[in-house]
């Protein structure tokens, strides 16, 4: 909250002619508030959020939702001093290799694969029927590019800004139980774990594997990125999460020292 407030305070004092723009990154963890409040981890909910046809619901989520306190500051920025235009990009479960020089991976699926390898067996939380939407990081980056491009055009281009300037990113959905079973199968086929079978664990056991594990792997976060598609002309083009699961397992296995990289093999390793 402090960072968002400071950024907007600075932009309100800008001496550059014309409006100032802030593109903020949130996350669809904000949509999982009901599971958090009810303690329903690992069970499916049908409700899905739409950032165009259902925008009023999206921008009026309960204050108890994660990220909501910062989202509210950004959404209300246009009511303050100076001419400020804002947008919020709200990614779901992100996967795929980053193109930048620093971080090359996201968290949720990668930590799931890492936990499976570390414990030596796959797992699902309760029924494992809870659903999240997904987005390749390179598809996500194109939403940011489209918004920056619009901000450089007269009057903010074709983008929606301020109170309804909210953009989901998604290219499909999956059940976490299916992902857990697929990771176990892949890891077993690669001889990284002894069985393709999975354990059923509780939300408490998930949190023991990873802080917030129950929230990251056990909640529902379902959305439709209609605004980016219809307003910005955005279209996802990258491979699906399932198509990249084998690569994700390989990467986590290498990080844990379970398999050697090319350099180690060339030096005489096995």
**In order along the chain (270 residues), what is the average pLDDT of each group of 10 residues?**
95 90 97 97 98 97 96 89 90 95 93 98 98 98 98 96 96 98 98 98 98 98 98 97 98 92 50
CA torsion 109→115→116→119, rounded to 10°? 180
Q: Which CATH number fits domain 19-251: 3.40.50.720, 3.30.70.100, 3.30.1010.10, 1.10.630.10?
A: 3.40.50.720
- Give residue 264's pLDDT: 52
Query: How many Å apart are CA 159 and CA 265, to the nearest integer?
Result: 50
Tell me how far apart the alpha carbons of residues 105 and 117 are, in angstroms, rounded to a whole number.
17
What is the structure's pLDDT at 266?
Answer: 45
Q: What integer pLDDT is reported at residue 262 of this predicted model?
A: 45
The predicted pLDDT at position 50 comes to 98
| Sheet (strand 84-90) strand order | 20-25, 84-90, 166-168
- 174, β-bridge pairs: 132
CB atoms within 10 A of CB 154: 6
What are the helix (H) ranges across the chain?
Answer: 2-12, 33-38, 55-58, 68-75, 108-119, 137-151, 176-189, 203-209, 213-218, 226-232, 241-255, 262-266
Which pLDDT score is estimated for 230?
A: 98
């Amino acid at each position: 909250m402090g960072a968002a407030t400071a950024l907007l305070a600075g932009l309100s004092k800008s001496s550059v002619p014309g409006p100032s723009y802030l593109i903020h990154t949130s996350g669809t963890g904000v949509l999982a508030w009901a599971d958090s409040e009810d303690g329903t981890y690992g069970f499916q909910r049908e409700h899905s959020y739409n950032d165009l046809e259902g925008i009023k619901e999206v921008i009026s989520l309960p204050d108890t939702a994660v990220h909501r306190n910062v989202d509210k500051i950004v959404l209300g920025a246009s009511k303050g001093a100076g001419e400020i235009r804002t947008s919020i990009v709200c990614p779901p479960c992100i996967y795929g290799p980053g193109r930048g020089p620093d971080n090359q991976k996201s968290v949720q699926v990668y930590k799931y694969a890492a936990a499976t390898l570390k414990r030596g067996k796959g797992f699902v939380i309760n029924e494992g029927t809870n659903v999240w939407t997904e987005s390749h990081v390179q598809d996500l980056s194109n939403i940011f590019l489209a918004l920056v491009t619009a901000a450089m055009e007269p009057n903010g281009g074709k983008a929606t800004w301020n109170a309804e300037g909210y953009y989901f990113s998604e290219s499909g959905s999956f059940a976490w139980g299916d992902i857990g079973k697929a990771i176990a199968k892949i890891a077993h086929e690669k001889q990284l774990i002894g069985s393709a079978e999975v354990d059923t664990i509780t939300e408490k056991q998930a949190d023991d594997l990873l802080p917030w594990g129950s929230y990251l792997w056990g909640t529902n976060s379902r959305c439709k990125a209609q605004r980016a598609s219809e307003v910005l002309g955005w279209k996802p083009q990258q491979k699906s999460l399932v198509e990249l699961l084998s690569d994700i397992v390989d990467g986590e296995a290498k990080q844990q020292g379970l398999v050697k990289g090319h350099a180690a093999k060339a030096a005489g390793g096995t």
